[in-house]
Amino acid sequence: MEFERLEAPYLAPTANVAGIMQQVLLALVPAAIAHVWFFGPGLVFNLVVAATACVGGEALMMRLRGRPAVSALSDYSALVTAALLAFALPSLTPWWITATAALFAIIVAKHLYGGLGFNIFNPAMAGYVAVLVAFPMQLNLWVAPRMGDIDYQFLTVLQTLKYTLTGSLPDMLTYDQVSRATPLDAMKTGLNDMRTPAEIRSLPVMGDFGGVGWEWIGNLIAIGGFWLMIRKVIRWHIPLGVGAGLLIPAGLMWLLSPGTEPSPGFHMFSGAAMLCAFFIATDPVSAAASPKGRFVYGAGIGFLIYAIRTWGADVDGVAYAVLIMNMAVPAIDRITRPRIVGHARNARAP
Amino acid sequence: MPSPAPTYDLGRLHGGLRLAAHKSASTGLPVQSPPLPAQLILPIDQHVGEPARPLVGIGEHVLRGQLLAESTGTLGAPVHASSSGKVVAIEPWPVAGRRGDPAPCIVIECDGDDRAVESRGNPVPYAELPGDEVLRRILQGGIVGLGGAVYPTAQKLMQAAAGELEYLILNGAECEPYISCDDMLMRERAGDIVSGAQILLHALGLDSACIVVESDKPDAIKQLAAAMTDAADERLVLKQVPTIYPSGGEDQLVQLVTDREVPSGGLPTDVGCLVQNVGTAAAIHDWLRDGEPLVSRITTISGDGIAQPMNVRARIGTTVAELVQFAGGYTDSARHLVIGGPMTGKSVSTDRVPLVKATNCILVLSEVPQPGPELPCIRCGECAAVCPVQLQPQQLFWYACADDERQLRSHGLTDCIECGCCDLVCPSHIPLTYDFRMAKARIRELEDEKARAERARRRFEARNERLQREQRERETELARQKETARKAGPDAIAEIMKRKQQDDGD
Amino acid sequence: MLTAVLILTVIALIAGLGLGFAARKLPADSSELVERVNELLPQTQCAQCGYPGCRPYAAAIVEDGAAINLCPPGGNDTVRRLADLLGRSEAPPLATGPAAPAVAVIDESLCIGCTYCRAACPVDAIVGAHQLMHTVIEQECTGCELCVAPCPVDCISMRAT
């Protein structure tokens, strides 16, 4: 009997890229629900716009590169970028800003570098920084969370949709009534005004340890992240690195001078720090290669987040921290190459 | 008293995979004996090194165990007849080593009598012989590594004996799925394995040996422990290792059992260890105690394309087709024939290939699920997490695509043992093992090119030097002659010229 | 802010002038570079590049700025490696096509033992004495074809390997 020849191994592979991306999206769902509960339906509209722009941009770029579009779209990575952008952007964002961020992320940060697997920078963060620099006013408009403040007006679904499509609020409302400074923003301005963290924490936008709403979202992101770790979709080195890099300096400074430093818990549960630790920094393509390298990479991001928040101009610092460490990845890879079995223990990598 | 109590591993293996074993299907029955085939096809190249040189002619009648082809060169092994019969041809025949393409084989038509040569039945009292004499006898038995590497055993032992050996390790790990031939050998012939170990200890002048088995083989462990108790030999020890693929690889086993790393590009003997498959040990026992050279081996026939999976003790040279028929034939879903295991085996194009010394498993699989198109590497790092040699396959892949020979070497491509673990876990379904094999060939090609260019350059420079030297010698000679002429004076020259003219005129 | 712009511009000017000066006036160690370029060449010594051997061609590349795509036996691979070594951004395709690997073969029935081909071979791959049979040592022949022309009886041909 005659047979067809194959290449070893002859067992089915155990994983696939689409499956990994789908699990990442699944892990974000609880946090997304909390986000919608606290901050309104803006996230959903942002997601729709971002997803459309990401998928459309990817299809366009694959066509321009002469490749079949379906081979890129079927790995779901564009949707993951869209989801991270939707989380990073304020929930009240006009559609053109979201679309710009998404298109920049997919076209410039991903496909102009060669597509999936070849991008040096995290596409979502690159897209976010692009619109942060181009539309600074609109990206400072953060909806206030559901917190029972009588001066505050929660927008309805239709009003949110109208804002997303036109960028204008309903006639009776002003920006002040709809938005509030984020916890991080409030903390930064308050500290600049020489108020103590304890005083700042009495603002209604602050919750038990982070900000109202952001605590819930942070916890659910962490739960999603741990689920991904159990499923071996991500490994523990980067989240632990980010956590250590952020919490150790923050903790030290807070212990030394609690009157002028927010607590490490505040840092971890505010802004996109938790999202960064489990979902943004863990993007495998732009992260370091070896386990030790990944820990160093995560620690660098964590420390940069702390540094930018404390001494830099940006309020959150996550996006810049990630992009700066992306640049350092080739150097980190060279320095943290694992020792090959059978090679001398103190041999330096050439 | 020997210590048959199993102990767990001392060293730790990085990475590796826990694979579904698929072994219970073929271990339900005891080892079966298929009937003598009508024809035996014996390739002359069943081992690492030079192919053997045929000594018999067409039409010659041979007996079982008779020497058919002698080993040539410094590395090789002889080939013996697996049964009595007539040599009908020495011609190309499809072989598994070439994945179904032909190679020279000696074809014997069996006469059914299965008569053995006369020297059988006079066991060699090995204990009375010096160690290197035992090694020389092993050379004549056609014994090669039966774990699949088929390195000529005698030469391996001789090389090891020349160095500093501390441990003899008998490899009963058998970590690859589906393969169970060593398991069955350990269950049924544990005593012969122990005897082979004792012969090896004597031949090498060692006093410590351990037999290593994976923990998923409790029956084998029990039998081996009993055989060791019977032998009452304090030098022998039984060790268990966890069931992780590829703990049965030679370097990996050394690391697990002795916590020593085989240096890159080196051999286990560099760290004082010698590894032999349990089947090889039993074959040594057969040859030195019973006078039976390597003419048969236990092979697993398994896979969901086989009606009745089993282990058989078959004659070397039996075709795979006959063995499959003995095992109940193909099922309707049979699609691929693999000689070897599902991780490192070779898929062959025809079942006319014969069973050879290297054939530890005949695997017939139904459709291997198509992995889908190959995506770019997403640097997830799963491959590096499972690599037993702690390589970074994602980096190796990058440099293999870039054809960057320097970086490939620096990242350890030559240390890759081609186990296939990285392939299985890659979510982008990149055929990493295949790519690395190609890259290794490319590196060898570049090395050859460089060596050729270097030789040509040296010859060119030597030639230039020679021409310059000849030129210099001519010049010195000319200068010397001019000097002589000058010293002699113009009159002497005129004399010589006149004499020459007179000579020419004559 | 204007002062900052001015200061940076002045620094950039100084640095640029300094580098330009260094590049022109300070001699680079070119002999080592010639050696490295020579190592990348296939050592066929065939002179198809127009230079009498691989080392002269290497010297010409480094010192005279000769084109790097003149070596057919090296193929496009060598052009690429030379471009990498010399820091050039583009590797132009070979000026002539790549040479197929070949060896010279002497037809022994025609050879008259004149030794012209033996003298022509740059790597001494032809053995033979005056008025005696000549033959090519196949392993050492680089396929440069320099022996084909000098043969007065046209007994040398190239055989593809």
Domains in chain B with CATH codes: 3-302 (3.40.50.11540), 310-365 (no CATH), 382-442 (no CATH), 445-502 (no CATH)
- A347 interface with B at CB cutoff 8 Å: no
Q: List chain A residues with CB under 8 Å of B99.
A: 5
Residue from B380, B274, B287, B256 nearest B67 by CA: B287
Residue A161: partners with Cβ closer than 8 Å, 6 or more residues away: A41, A45
Tokens, residue B361 = 């498993």
Yes or no: say if A278 and A239 are a contact pair by the CB < 8 Å rule: yes
Q: Is A94 part of any domain?
A: yes
Sort out which chain B residues have CB atoms less than 8 A from A116's CB and list them: 375-376, 378
Q: Are A318 and A300 in contact (CB under 8 A)?
A: no
SS3 C157: strand
Chain B interface includes A294 (CB < 8 A): yes
- Does residue B8 carry a pLDDT above 50? no
CA distances for C9 relative to A343, B384, B434, C4, C23, angstroms:
50, 47, 54, 9, 21
B38 Cβ under 8 Å from any chain C Cβ: no
Q: Which of C37, C38, C43 is the best mutation test for B, with the most CBs of B within 10 A?
A: C43
Is the dihedral angle over the CA atoms A8, A10, A14, A15 positive or is it negative?
positive
Domain count, chain A: 1
pLDDT tens-place string over residues A249-306: 999 999 998 888 888 988 888 888 999 999 999 999 999 999 999 999 999 999 999 9
- Mean pLDDT (whole number) for B273-278: 94
Q: Flag if C43 and B456 touch (Cβ within 8 Å).
A: yes
- B361: three-class secondary structure by DSSP: strand
Min Cα distance B19 → chain A (Å) is 10
Report which of A318, A321, A146, A306 is spatially closest to residue A216, judged by C-alpha positions: A146
d(CA A95, CA A51): 12
| Lowest-pLDDT range of A181-195, B67-81, C25-39 | C25-39
- Cβ contact B378–A15 (<8 Å): no
User: The tokens of A85 are what?
Assistant: 């952008």
- The residue whose two tokens read 């999603």 is A224
- Interface residue B123 vs chain A (CB under 8 A): no
Number of helices and strands in chain A (H, E): 16, 0
Chain centroid, CA B5 distance in Å: 32
A224 touches chain B (CB under 8 A): no
Q: Is B335 on the interface with A (CB under 8 A)?
A: yes
Length of chain A: 350
Helix, strand, or coil (residue A294): helix
pLDDT band at A350 (very low <50, low <70, confident <90, very high): very low
Cβ distance C43 to B462 less than 8 Å, yes or no, reads no
Give the range with max mean pLDDT: A228-232, B49-53, C1-5: A228-232
**Predicted local confidence at residue A161, as pLDDT:** 86
Write out the residue limits of the CATH 1.10.15.40 domain(s) in chain C.
29-99
Residue predicted with more confidence, C91 or C45 = C45
Least confident of A37-41, A150-154, B311-315, B497-501: A150-154
| pLDDT reported for residue B3 | 42
Q: Give how far Cα B227 sits from Cα of B208, B289, B313, B381, Å.
A: 17, 17, 21, 45
Q: How far B463 CA lies from chain C's nearest CA (Å)? A: 7
A chain contacts of residue B347, beta-carbon cutoff 8 Å: 3-8, 10
- Complex confidence, ipTM: 0.88
Mean pLDDT of chain A: 89
Distance from CA of C54 to the nearest CA of B (A): 9
Return the pLDDT at C141: 87
CATH 3.30.70.20 fits C100-161, yes or no: yes
Interface of B with A in 275-314 (CB under 8 A): none
Where do we find the tokens 């193929």? C75
Give the tens place of pLDDT for each residue, A206-249. 777 777 788 889 999 999 999 999 999 999 999 999 999 999 99
Q: Which residue among B349, B373, B377 sits closest to A2, beta carbon to beta carbon?
A: B349
Instruction: Tell me whether residues A3 and B391 touch, CB distance under 8 A.
Output: no
What's this model's pTM, rounded to 2 decimal places?
0.83
d(CA B240, CA B216): 9
B368–chain A nearest CA distance, Å: 6
Examine residue A348 and state whether it is found in any structural domain, yes or no.
no
- Segment A176-205 shows an average pLDDT of 81
Residue type for position A137: M
Chain B CB contacts of A8 under 8 Å are: 338, 342-347, 420, 423, 433-434
Partner-chain contact B99 A5, CB within 8 Å? yes
Determine whether the interchain pair A341/B251 forms a contact, defined as Cβ–Cβ distance below 8 Å. Answer: yes
Chain C closest CA to B410's CA: distance in Å? 18
Cβ contacts of A294 on chain B, cutoff 8 Å: 381
Closest-CA residue to A245 (of A301, A321, A329, A327):
A301
Nearest CA in chain C to B459: C123
Q: How many angstroms from the chain centroid is the CA of residue C140?
A: 18
Q: pLDDT by residue (tens digit) across C8-54?
A: 999 999 999 998 888 777 656 677 788 888 888 888 777 788 888 88
Task: Give C109→chain B minimum CA distance, Å.
Answer: 28
- Within-domain flag for A11: no
What percentage of chain B has pLDDT greater than the value 90? Answer: 63
Contact A8, B361 (CB under 8 A): no
- The answer to whether domain C29-99 has CATH 1.10.15.40 is yes
Helix, coil or strand: residue B240: strand
Chain B environment of A7 (Cβ under 8 Å): 347, 431, 433-434
Q: C123–B460: do the CB atoms touch at under 8 Å?
A: yes
Select from C89, C94, C54, C87 the least CA-distant residue to C70: C94
pLDDT mean over B20-32: 91
Which string of b and e fits A162-184 if b means at least 16 CB within 10 Å?
Answer: ebbeeeebeeeeeeeebbbbbbb
Q: Does the beta-carbon distance from C42 to B459 stay under 8 Å?
A: no
A277 in any annotated domain: yes
CB atoms within 10 A of CB B489: 10
CA C17 vs CA C8, C22, C24: distances in Å? 14, 9, 11
Which chain C residues are Cβ-neighbours of B404 within 8 angstroms? none
Query: What pLDDT sits at residue B7?
Result: 47
Predicted local distance difference test score (pLDDT) of residue A346: 59
- A235: chain B residues, CB-CB within 8 Å: 381, 385
Residue range(s) defining the domain that contains residue A309: 17-335
Sort out which chain B residues have CB atoms less than 8 A from A338's CB and list them.
384, 390, 392
Number of A–B residue contacts, CB under 8 Å: 168
Binary contact (C124, B459; C-beta < 8 A): yes
Peptide bond into B246 cis (omega under 30): yes
Most distant CA atoms of chain C, gap in Å: 89
Question: Could C43 and B449 be called an inter-chain contact, meaning their C-beta atoms sit closer than 8 Å?
Answer: no
As a dihedral over the C-alpha atoms of residue B208, residue B213, residue B214, residue B220, rounded to 10 degrees, the angle is -150
Cβ neighbours for C17, distance < 8 A, ≥ 6 positions apart: none
Of A174-178, B262-266, B445-449, B481-485, which gets the smallest average pLDDT? A174-178
Q: Say whether A342 and B365 touch across the interface (CB within 8 A).
A: no
Which 3-state string (H, E, C) describes B133-155? HHHHHHHHCCCECCCCCCCEHHH
CA distances from residue C60 to C26, C63, C96, C122 in whole angstroms, order as listed: 20, 5, 19, 19
- Which residues, 6 or more positions from A347, have their beta carbon under 8 angstroms from its beta carbon? A339
Which one, of B315, B319, B356, B363, lies nearest residue B339 by Cα? Answer: B363
Identify whether A349 is part of a domain. Answer: no
The CA distance from B152 to the nearest CA of chain A, in Å, is 24
Residues 408-467 of B with CB under 8 A from C: 449, 452-457, 459-460, 462-463
Report chain B residues whose CB lies below 8 A from the CB of A3: 100, 335-337, 347-351
Neighbours of chain B (3+ CB pairs under 8 A): A, C
Determine, for residues A12 and B262 on separate chains, whether the beta-carbon distance falls below 8 Å.
no
Distance between CA atoms of B262 and B256, rounded to whole angstroms? 11
H/E run at residue A66: none
* CATH 3.30.70.20 domain locations along chain C: 100-161
Q: At C8, which amino acid appears? A: L
Task: Label residue B389 by pLDDT band (50, 70, 90).
Answer: very high
pLDDT tens-digit profile of A77-118?
999 999 999 999 998 899 999 999 999 999 999 999 999 999
* CB contact B350 to A (< 8 Å): yes
Q: Which of A4, A8, A17 is the closest to B428 by Cβ? A: A17
Residues with Cβ within 8 Å of B131's Cβ and at least 6 positions away in sequence, in order, are B161, B202, B203, B204, B205
The pairing of beta strand C102-106 with beta strand B102-110 = unpaired
Best of C46, C54, C85, C123 to substitute, by most chain B Cβ atoms within 10 angstroms, is C123
- pLDDT tens digits, B153-184: 999 998 888 888 888 999 999 999 999 999 99
